[in-house]
Structure 1
Amino acid sequence: MALTFVLDPAVTPALRDGILDLWADVSNAGGAVGFVAPVEREEIRPELVKHLVAMAEGRHRLLVGHDAAGQVAATAFFCFNTHRLQTHWLWLCTVMVHPRHQGRGHGRDLLTAAADAARGFDGIDAIRLGCRGGLGLERFYGSCGYKEVGRVPGAIRVAPDDDRDDITMLLPLT
C-alpha cells in the first residue's frame, strides 16, 4: 500500500513521537541517519528538536509519509541555505523510510514527493543530499536521478577502524 505524503504537517506530540520512533527504528536497523546502533529515542531527541526549531524559524520544512494506519513511515527535511550565494539549492536531510516499509518502493516515492515539493519552492533549482558510503546508498539515489558530485574519503567514523566516505549527491530540478 502506498504512503500518503504531507508537506509541512502540524507538529503535534503524536507527529514528534512518530518521528522519534522512526528515527530510532531506522538507526537501530543500520540506517545511516546520523546515529549508530544501538541508539535510544532520548539520544535522538536533541537532533529532532534542532530540526523543529529550524522549522519554526523557516529554515527547514518537513515532508512526512504516513502508512495506511496513519503511522509516520517516512520523512525528509528540506534544509534551506542562508548564504546569499547558495539560496538556489537546498539540502534534503534525515531521509528515512521505516524498515518495515523498505523494499516496496516507498523510498523512491519519498524522493519523488520531495522533488515535486521542492519544485514548488521559490528559486530552488536543485536538491543536494549527503549519504554514508559502504551501504550502497549512492546507487539507490543514483537510480532516483541523483548524481554523485563529491566524495570525502573516510569522513564519517561509525566505529574505531570503521571510517566511511561522505558522499554528496545532486538532483537538478530544472
Structure 2
Amino acid sequence: MTALINPLTADALHTHAEALADLLLDAVADGASVGFLADTGRDEAAAWWRTLHPSVADGSRLLWAASDADGRVLGTVALVREVRANGRHRAEVSKLLVHRDARGAGLGRRLLTTVEQAARDTGATLLLLDTQTGSAAEHLYRSAGWTSFGTVPGHAATPDGVLADTTYYYKQLIG
C-alpha cells in the first residue's frame, strides 16, 4: 500500500479533521500516549485538530497527511516551528501517527523524512521530539539517527490512565 504524503493547509485541516480524528483515535486505541485518554470521543478529537487552524494558517505549524488511493488518511506528522528569535534554528516534530493498518510498510519513516526535509528547507538545524519510553516509535527514531537526551519518569498518562515515562530526542540537521 503506497500512501501519498501531502501538506495540509489550514483550510484542508478543517476538511480532514474527521479523518485525522479517526487516525488519532486508532493510535489511542492501540495504547499510544499522544495526549488523549481512551474515553476520547471522535467529536473531541476532531475539535482538537481544528484548534490547530491558527498555527497552520500562520505557518508556525506545518502539517502533512498520508493518504491511500481512496483518500483514507493513514498517517500524519507536524513540524512546530519556534517563533521566538533565539530559537528559530529549532523545531519540534509532533504527532507522528501511522494507522495500525499501514504499519510495517515504511510510512512512519517516510513521514519522518518528510518532516526532516521540511525543517531543513525552513532553516531549522535542530529538531526535538518526545515519545513514550519503550514504544515502537523509539526504534524508528534511533534508526533514523535521533539521539535520546533524557527520560522523565511518569511524565504522561497512557490512554488507560497509567503514568508512563517519556524519552526526549534530538537530531541535528547537518548538510
**TM-score normalised by structure 1 residue count:** 0.88
Q: Which has the higher contact order (CA 8 A, sep 6+)?
A: 2
* Offset of residue 53 of structure 1: 2.2
Distance in 2 (alpha carbons) for counterparts of 1:119 and 1:27: 30
Partner in structure 1 of residue 166 of structure 2: 166
Which piece of structure 1 moves more, 34-43 or 65-74? 34-43
1:109-136 deviation digits (Å, cap 9, x = unpaired): 1111211222211x21122111112424
Matched to 2:2, the amino acid is: A
* Offset of residue 166 of structure 1: 1.8
Distance in 2 (alpha carbons) for counterparts of 1:13 and 1:60: 15
Distance in 1 (alpha carbons) for counterparts of 2:121 and 2:135: 31
Distance in 2 (alpha carbons) for counterparts of 1:18 and 1:40: 13
Partner in structure 1 of residue 37 of structure 2: 36
* Offset of residue 13 of structure 1: 4.5
Which 4+ residue blocks in structure 1 deviate beyond 4 angstroms?
none
Matched to 1:69, the amino acid is: D
Partner in structure 1 of residue 76 of structure 2: 75
Unmatched runs of 5 consecutive residues or more in structure 2: none
Please tell me whether the aligned partners of residues 27 and 38 of structure 1 are also in contact (alpha carbons under 8 angstroms).
no
Unmatched runs of 5 consecutive residues or more in structure 1: none
* Offset of residue 93 of structure 1: 0.6
Which piece of structure 1 moves more, 61-70 or 43-52? 43-52
Q: What is the DSSP-based 3-state SS (H/G/I as helix, E as strand, rest coil) of the residue aligned with 2:51?
A: helix
Please tell me whether the aligned partners of residues 17 and 50 of structure 2 are also in contact (alpha carbons under 8 angstroms).
no
Distance in 1 (alpha carbons) for counterparts of 2:97 and 2:73: 10
Partner in structure 2 of residue 88 of structure 1: 89
Name the CA shift for 1:55/1:13 in 2 (closer, same or farther; >3 Å).
closer
Please tell me whether the aligned partners of residues 138 and 169 of structure 1 are also in contact (alpha carbons under 8 angstroms).
no
Partner in structure 2 of residue 58 of structure 1: 59
Partner in structure 2 of residue 155 of structure 1: 155
Distance in 2 (alpha carbons) for counterparts of 1:120 and 1:33: 27
* Offset of residue 154 of structure 1: 1.6
Residue pairs, 1:88-107, within 5 angstroms = 88-107=89-108
Matched to 1:25, the amino acid is: D
* Offset of residue 37 of structure 1: 2.1
Q: Supply the RMSD in Å over aligned alpha carbons.
A: 1.9
Partner in structure 2 of residue 113 of structure 1: 114
Which piece of structure 1 moves more, 101-110 or 47-56? 47-56
Name the CA shift for 1:81/1:12 in 2 (closer, same or farther; >3 Å).
closer
Distance in 2 (alpha carbons) for counterparts of 1:13 and 1:125: 30
Distance in 2 (alpha carbons) for counterparts of 1:112 and 1:54: 22
Please tell me whether the aligned partners of residues 134 and 164 of structure 1 are also in contact (alpha carbons under 8 angstroms).
no
Partner in structure 1 of residue 127 of structure 2: 127
**TM-score normalised by structure 2 residue count:** 0.87
